[in-house]
Amino acid sequence: MAFDILKALILGVIEGLTEFLPVSSTGHLLLAQHFFGFGDDTFGKSFAILIQLGAILALLSIYFHRLWALFLGMFKNQDDQRFVIGVLLAFLPAAVIGAVALGFIKSVLFNVWIVCTMFIVGGFVLLWIDRLNLKPRYTDATKFSLPMYLGIGFIQCVAMIPGVSRSGATIVGAMLFGADRRSAAEFSFWLAMPTMVGAFAYEAFKDRAELANANLTLIAVGFVCSFIFGWIVVKTFLGYVQRHTFALFAWWRIVIGTAGVYAIYFM
C-alpha cells in the first residue's frame, strides 16, 4: 500500500507540474506508466481522470474572480461578450474532432514511441519559435481577433497526439498569429478551462462505473499533489515566460524524449 501511495504521489506531481507547461502532461504520464509499472489495476483510467481534476480546480481557483467578473460582464459588456465567443470558437474544433476521433486517437496514437517522438519534435518547434523574429500585434489575450481564436483552436487539436502538449500547441499557434509570449501563454490558460472541463466530464461519464470502485486514498493523494503543483505552475508561468524564452521547456522535451527512445530500445 505504501508503494502504491508513492506511485500516486508521483503521478499527481507529474500531472500538476506538466498540465499547464508546454511539455505534455499526457506524454509524461504515459511514459511514467510504461517505465515505472503504473498498471491498470491501481492506476487505470479512473485515477488519471480524477487527478486531472486537481489541476483543473487549481486553475479555476486562481481565475475565479476574473471568471466571475467575465460572467457578470457577459450580459452587458461587448468586450466580455466578444471574448467569451472567442474562447468558445477556440474550443469548438477540439470538441468536434475529439468527439469524432477519440477512439482512434486512444487506440492508435497512445504509445510510447509516438510520445517520445513528439517530445523531441515539440522541443525543436519551441526552439524554432524562439528564434523567429516575430512582431507581436497583440499583448492582451482578450483582444485577439475572432478568426485568430478559431485558428488557435484548430492548432490546439494537434495536441490530441500524445506528447505534443495542449498548452504548447496553443502558445505556438497564438504567437504565429501575432500574440506576444505572455498573452499567448495566458490564452492557453483560458482555453484550458473549457477544454479540460469538457474532456474531464466526458471521460468521467464514460468511465463512471470504474470511478465508483476507485481507491479513494490513492485518488486523494494524487488529487492533492496535482492541485498543489498545478496551482504553483499557474501562478508562476506567466511571469516566467515574460522574462525568458521557451528554451528550458524545449530542452527538457528533447532530453526526456531522447532518453525515452533509448530506454525503450535497450530495456
What mean pLDDT do residues 218-235 have?
91
Number of domains in the chain: 1
The pLDDT assigned to 40 comes to: 52
Q: Which has the higher per-residue pLDDT, 75 or 35?
A: 75
Mean pLDDT (the chain) is 88
Q: Categorize the per-residue pLDDT at 265 as very low, low, confident or very high, splitting at 50, 70 and 90.
A: confident
CB 152 within 8 A of CB 127: no
pLDDT tens digits along 16-33: 999 999 999 888 988 887
Q: Is residue 191 scored above 90 in pLDDT? A: yes
CA distance between the termini of the chain: 27
- Of all residues in the chain, the percent with pLDDT exceeding 90 is 59
Instruction: Write the DSSP string, the chain.
Output: -HHHHHHHHHHHHHHHHHTTTTT-HHHHHHHHHHHHT--TTTSSHHHHHHHHHHHHHHHHHHTHHHHHHHHHHTTT-HHHHHHHHHHHHHHHHHHHHHHHHHHHIIIII-SHHHHHHHHHHHHHHHHHHHHS-----B--GGG--HHHHHHHHHHHGGGGSTTS-HHHHHHHHHHHTTB-HHHHHHHHHHHHHHHHHHHHHHHHHHTHHHHHTS-HHHHHHHHHHHHHHHHHHHHHHHHHHHHS-SHHHHHHHHHHHHHHHHHHHH-
- What confidence score (pLDDT) does residue 214 get? 61
Query: Above 70 in pLDDT, residue 46?
Result: no
Identify the domain containing residue 138 by its residue range: 2-266
| Of 195 and 179, more confident | 179
Reported as a pLDDT band with limits 50, 70 and 90, residue 205 is: confident
Confidence of residue 42 (pLDDT cuts 50, 70, 90): very low
Name the range with the highest mean pLDDT among 26-35, 37-46, 251-260. 251-260
> Which range, of 73-82, 102-111, 255-264, averages the lowest pLDDT?
102-111
* pLDDT given for residue 242 in this prediction: 87
Q: What's the rounded mean pLDDT across residues 164-182?
A: 95
